[in-house]
Amino acid sequence: MMSRCTIRSLVGLFITGLIASASAASTADWKPRSVYQTMTDRFARTDGSTTAPCNTTAGLYCGGTWRGTIDKLDYIQGMGFDAVMISPIMENIHGRVKYGEAYHGYWPLNFNNLNSHFGTHQDLLDLSAALHSRGMYFMLDTVINNMAYITNGSDPATHIDYSTLTPFNNADYYHPYCNMSDWNDMKIAQKCNTGDEIVPLPDLFTEHEDVQQLLIKWAKNAIKTYSIDGLRIDAAKHVNPGFLKAFSQGLDDIFMTGEVLEGAVSIMADYQENYIASLPNYPIYFQILEAFTMGNTSLLAKGVEEMRMSIPDVNAMTSFSENHDKPRIASNSKDMAMAKNVLVFTMLFDGIPMIYQGQEQHLAGNSVPKNREAIWLTKYDTDAELYKLIAKLNRIRNHAALLGKDYFEDSTHTIYQGGSELGFTKGVQGRQVVMVLSTQSSKSTAYTIDLTVSYNAGTPVTDVLACKNYTVDSVGTLRVPMDKGEPRVFFPTDYLDGSGLCGHAAANISLAQLKTHSDLTSAGIQYTSGTSLATFLLAVATSIFVTL
C-alpha cells in the first residue's frame, strides 16, 4: 500500500502536469483569481533569515530569491491568494549608481540570461512547479519597452554601446534617443527614453517587425519553459499600442495586464477595446486615494458607475491600491480603519485583485525606494490584522463566485453615498456581496445608516467581517451600525455554508445544494461549472490527504 507521502507526491505531480499543460491561461481563467505581487529581491531569502538588513534607500540587492519564495508559499496561500507575480527574470545591468542597483529587475541587459541574483534555471522551474502543485497561477512581470545602460551622466544620445545589449545589439532596434519632455503626450511617451542621464532606458522600436518577433520569441520560450500562466507588461503606456495587440496574439492570447499609468477612463476603454484585454485600474486607484485619504466619497461613487458604463470588461482589469511605484496607503495615515476600508474595496470591487507584498503588514513606505521594504523583516506575521482580513475577503469572494460564475460577469453598483460612507453591491440579487465602507477614523463613534437598496425584505444577512447577523426589514431597509470607521461586508446568511467564514465549514458547495440543503458528496466536494478542473482535482487530493 502506498504511503500518504507517496500519494501526495503523485497527486501533486499530476496536478502540476495538468496545470502546466494548460498554462498561458486566458482572461476568463484569471478572473476568479487573486494575485499576490512579490518583488523577488525583497520578499524572501534562501537562508530563511528574518533579520538580514535591507537598506531600502540605498537601492541595493538585499538577497531575495526564487528559492526563498518557494519556502514562503504557505504564507501567501494562507491569505487565500491563488496566483503569485514575481519580478522580471532576465539578466539586468551590473554595477552601482548613486541610487542603487538593478534589484527590481526593470533594467534589462540580456533577455537570454536569467538574473543570477534571484537564482538558477532550476530554482525558477521549481518555483513554477511548487505554485502549480498548489493549484496556483504563475504570473511574470515583463519588460518589453526598453533595455538599460549605465552612462553615469554622459550624454545618452552618444554614449550607449548598443552592442552590449542582447538580443537588441545595434541602434537600429531602438527609437532615436530623445528626452521625455511630456509624459502625457502619447506620441512622445511611446518613443522617448523613460530613464535618466544616469541610467537611460533605450526605447525599443516596437513598431519594427524584427523587434516584435524577437520579443515574441523570447516570451514564448519563457512561457513554455517555466509554465507561465500570465504576464504583467511593465510600462505598457510607452509601448507602441499596436504591438501590444500583436504581442498578445503572438502568445496565443495569454492573459496579460498592461501598465498604462493614466487616470482617464476613456484611455482605459480605448486600450481595452483595441489593444489589450486587461490593465491595472489606475482611474479607480486615484479615486480610492481621493475617498479614503482625503475623505471625498463622491468621486469614487461616480467612478464606479463610470467604469461600469464605459469599460468593455471591467472584471478583466486588475484592482490594486498599492504597488512598487506608488506610496503605501499607511504613508498617508497609520489609522487601521483606513487600511481596512481600502483593502475591502480593492479585494471586492470588479477585477482581479492584485495585492503588493507588505500591504498585509501595514507597511508605510512613502515613495520609491522606501516602499520596497524587505518583507522578511516583518517576520511574516500571520497574526497581523490585515493579513487575516485579506484571508476573509478572499474567502467571501471565492464563495460568491463558486455559487455562480456569473459573479464575474456582473459589475459593481454604487448603492449608497453619505458624507463619510459608501455602499456597493456586486453579484446576482439574492446572493450578492454588499460592502459598506467608511472614511472615518478608528476614533469615530457609533451611529447607524439605512441601506434602502440591498437585499429583499426579510432576508437574513451576515457581516462576514464581524460575524454578526442582521435581517432586512419588511420595507427592504438594512440598518447598518457603523463604529470606529470599520468596514462592513454582508452576504446572505442562508448561503454561507461552505464559505469557511463565521463558523461555517469550508467546502466546494453548489448553489443548488444550499437551496435544498443536500449533503456534500462523499469526497467532501461538489464539482461545479464555476470551478476549474485543476481546482477540482486539488480539492480531491486534499480530501484524500484528510482521509488517509
Alpha-carbon distance values, 11 to 21, 144, 300, 349, 543 (Å):
15, 37, 46, 35, 12
| Per-position DSSP letters for 81-98, written without gaps between them | --EEEE---EEE--S-BT
107 known ligand binder:
yes
CA count, 13 A, side-chain hemisphere, 438: 24
Q: Which of 534, 544, 388 is nearest to 82 (CA)?
A: 534
Q: Which residues are catalytic?
A: 234, 259
DSSP3 helix / strand / coil % (the chain, rounded to 5): 35, 15, 45
DSSP 280: B
Terminal Cα-to-Cα distance of the chain (whole angstroms): 11
In whole angstroms, what is the distance from residue 180 CA to residue 202 CA? Answer: 12
CA 71, CA 48: separation in Å to the nearest integer? Answer: 8
Do residues 355 and 390 lie in contact, with contact meaning Cβ atoms separated by under 8 Å? yes
DSSP, res 530: T
Consult the annotation and say whether 410 binds a ligand. Answer: no
Give the C-alpha separation, 268 to 327, whole Å.
22
- For residues 445 and 497, what is the distance between their CA atoms, to the nearest angstrom? 33
Residue type, 173: Y
Query: Pairing mode, if any, of strands 90-92 and 108-114?
Result: antiparallel
- Three-state SS sequence of 178-223: CCCCCCCCHHHHCCCCCCCCCCCCCEECCCCHHHHHHHHHHHHHHH
Q: Is 397 annotated as a binding residue?
A: no
Alpha-carbon distance 190 to 237, whole Å? 7
Whether residue 134 is annotated as binding a ligand: the answer is no
Polymer length of the chain: 548
State the number of CA atoms in the 13 A half-sphere of 193 facing the CB: 19
Task: Name the β-bridge partners of 491.
Answer: 462
Rounded Cα distance, 529 and 400, in Å = 13
Burial 158-192 (b: 16+ CB within 10 A, else e): eebeeeebbebeeeebbbebeebeeeeeeeebbbb
Whether residue 300 contacts residue 308, with contact meaning beta carbons closer than 8 Å, is answered with: no
Closest CA to 63 of 77, 46, 80, 78: 46
For the record, the C-alpha cell of 20 comes out as 502546466
42 in a known ligand binding site: no
In whole angstroms, give the CA distance from residue 453 to residue 415. 6
Q: Residue type for 426, please?
A: K
**Which amino acids are annotated as binding site for substrate, given as ranges?**
107, 232, 263, 325, 372
